[in-house]
Structure formats: C-alpha cells, structure tokens
Amino acid sequence: MKNIKLTVNGEKFEEQIDNRLLLVDFLRDNLSLTGTHVGCTYEGVCGACTIHLDGDAVKSCMLLAVQADGHNITTVEGLSAEGSLSNLQQAFNDEHGLQCGYCTPGILMNMADFLTENPNPSDEQIRHGLIGNLCRCTGYVHIVRAVKKAAKMLKDGAREDRT
C-alpha cells in the first residue's frame, strides 16, 4: 500500500492504494471518473483509456496509479469547462464523429494533445495521430473530419475555452 497525492481535473486527491492498481482503475473505481474507458482488457492496444499526464496523452492502463503520485492528470471529464463542450467535443458532435461512443473519450484526449502540437493538421497527420485509438464503428472518416473542424474552430477562436 502506498499513499499518493495527485491532481485530477484541477482537484487535489490523496488516497491509500495498492501498488499494483492500474491508473485507469484508480480513476474509474476510486475516483468514479468513468469517462475513461477500458476497451481491451488492459492490453494497451485500444487507446480508450487515454488521459493527459502532465499534458501528454498516454494510455492509463500502461501505468500504475502509484506512478502518478505528484502528477497532474486530466481525464475526459476535465475537457469541458463549466458544462459547455470544448471546441473538439463540439466538432465531434457537429460532424457525427462517433457512433457507439465507447472509444470517444480516448480519441478526444489524444486529439486534444495532438491539436496543441499540430494546429494545422492534414488528413494524413490526423490519421497518423489516431493510430493508437481503435474505433470499430465509424471507419474514421467522420473522426478525421471532426478533428479538422476542431482545428479550424480553434484557429478562428470560435470558443475561448480549452481544446
């Protein structure tokens, strides 16, 4: 057991946890932040559990929760400010970038980080960025369109909140 202190979506938490607890389970079971999904039984291949660790998109099933001690985490619940959708979320809604929605939280978290690094992405760059996220419904066409639209919205300053 180990005591950890970390910040999740701007809120500070302190918890006593088992060393072997995976970060994704800590977020879902201990903090009840169930927006972060488990799509592939913790094999690290689906990307549905993608979160931001100190701003970088990483898969939370590939980390022990104890490793996040002292770090800053953002989950999909932290993407939108005050109940309004972020530009990226709005673009996914507008372009119908999801069907069943299971992979969506991971895709949003990966693409939010991607767009800060690639403000003017080509289709090819978006598809390359999406390799770590499996979607079995959409065929990615609408997802790529949504990310492209989000990039434009961010550039045009459509909303002032975060990616």
Partner 1 sequence: MYPAEIKEYHKPDSVEQVLEIIANHEEGESLLLAGGQSAMQAIKSRMLRPQCIIDLQDLQELKTINDESETLKIGAMVRYCELAKSSALNINFTGLKDAAAHVGDRQVRNRGTIGGSVCWNYAAACTPAAVLALDGSMHLISSGGETKVICADDFFLGPLDTAKSESDVLVSVSFKKPKTRSGSAYKKWGLVKDALPVVGIGAFVKLDSNGSCYEARIALTGMGVGAQRATAGETLLLGSDGDQQSIEAATESICANIDAPTDLSATSDYRYQLIRSIGTEVILTAFKRASI
Q: Please report, as ranges, the residues that interact with partner 1 according to CB under 8 A.
A: 2, 19-20, 22, 41-44, 47, 50, 53, 56-59, 61-64, 66-67, 69, 110, 113-114, 128-129, 131-133
Looking at beta carbons only, is 93 or 120 nearer to partner 1?
120
| Beta strands across the sheet bearing 50-53 | 11-17, 2-8, 72-74, 50-53, 56-59
Looking at beta carbons only, is 75 or 157 nearer to partner 1?
75
Please, what is the Cα angle at 53 between 46 and 20, to 5 degrees?
70
CA distance 157 to 116: 14
Question: Count of CB atoms within 10 A of residue 161's CB?
Answer: 15
Looking at beta carbons only, is 61 or 91 nearer to partner 1?
61
CA dihedral 72, 74, 78, 79 (to 10 degrees): 130
Question: Nearest approach, Cβ of 2 to partner 1 (angstroms)?
Answer: 6
Question: Nearest approach, Cβ of 8 to partner 1 (angstroms)?
Answer: 18
